[in-house]
């Protein structure tokens, strides 16, 4: 029996997640978004049904958060858990995933991404198009490895981290929780939590307050 799924969010990332779900055989019933101007519109021919709180009363088999911003995605993930709505994974058919990798609930793995043996992807994380997660890497919950991000073996990406498009992390380095690595940066040394780092090699340019 085909599972009926609703997507939280109705922007660009939500549409990409929708396509991955449809190609994997799910029935997407529509999108939920708190932007009132989107109510009653469509995305990919599917309705924006209303605000996100509507999820608690919908007759669906599961849901996924289709929003790229990590803090927002983490909050919505917690709301889905509180409502008791199962979280599904969106895995694009072109992605290559080892049978010896572990994927948490609510994960999105998009076009041509590669996840190798021994890698662990935390719940609600995004492995975006063309990203490479080799053997024995650990990606924390709510993290986002953006388009073309490349990790080497044994890398640890903390909870809520954002690794920008085309960024690289060399073997066995760690990026602390809720840190941001800029597009095209090369991480050659461990990075602490709650910082932004950019450049080649990556250097910390900003420290964030803990959320």
The predicted-structure confidence for 29-70, as pLDDT tens digits, reads as follows 999 999 999 988 999 999 999 999 999 999 999 999 999 999
Per the CB < 8 A criterion, the answer to whether 103 and 121 are in contact is yes
Q: Whole-structure pTM over 0.85, yes or no?
A: yes
Residue 148 tokens read as: 């073309």
Per the CB < 8 A criterion, the answer to whether 99 and 118 are in contact is no
Contacts 24+ apart (CB under 8 A), 46-52: 46/18, 48/10, 49/6, 52/8, 52/76, 52/79
Q: Where in the chain is the domain with CATH 3.40.50.20?
A: 4-88
Residues annotated as catalytic are 135
Q: Using CA atoms in the order 125, 109, 68, 146, what is the torsion angle rounded to 10 degrees?
A: 90
What pLDDT shows up at residue 115? 98
Residues 6+ apart with CB under 8 A from 80: 8, 55, 63, 65, 87, 106
What pLDDT shows up at residue 211? 61
Q: Where in the chain is the domain with CATH 2.160.10.10?
A: 91-200
| Cα distance between residue 115 and residue 24, in whole Å | 18
What pLDDT shows up at residue 16? 97
| Cα distance between residue 174 and residue 107, in whole Å | 21
What pLDDT shows up at residue 209? 81
What pLDDT shows up at residue 2? 76
Q: Which fold has domain 91-200?
A: UDP N-Acetylglucosamine Acyltransferase; domain 1 (2.160.10)
| Cα distance between residue 65 and residue 32, in whole Å | 10
Under-50 pLDDT residues of the chain: none
State the architecture of 4-88 in CATH terms.
3-Layer(aba) Sandwich (3.40)
Residue 136 tokens read as: 């024995």
């Amino acid at each position: 029996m085909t599972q009926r799924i609703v997507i939280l969010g109705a922007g660009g990332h939500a549409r990409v997640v929708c396509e991955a779900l449809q190609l994997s055989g799910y029935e997407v019933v529509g999108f939920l978004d708190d932007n009132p101007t989107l109510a009653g519109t469509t995305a990919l021919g599917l309705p924006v049904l209303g605000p996100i709180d509507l999820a608690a009363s919908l007759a669906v088999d599961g849901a996924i958060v289709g929003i790229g911003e990590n803090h927002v995605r983490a909050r919505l993930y917690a709301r889905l858990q509180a409502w008791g709505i199962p979280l599904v994974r969106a895995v694009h058919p072109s992605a290559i995933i080892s049978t010896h990798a572990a994927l948490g609930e609510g994960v999105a793995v998009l076009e041509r991404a590669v996840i190798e043996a021994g890698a662990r992807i935390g719940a609600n994380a995004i492995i975006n198009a063309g990203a490479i997660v080799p053997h024995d890497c650990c990606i924390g919950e709510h993290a986002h490895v953006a388009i073309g991000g490349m990790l080497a073996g044994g890398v640890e990406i903390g909870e809520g981290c954002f690794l920008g498009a085309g960024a690289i992390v060399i073997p066995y380095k760690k990026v602390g929780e809720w840190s941001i690595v800029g597009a095209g940066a090369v991480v050659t040394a461990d990075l602490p939590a709650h910082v932004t780092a950019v450049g080649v090699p990556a250097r910390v340019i900003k420290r964030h307050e803990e959320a």
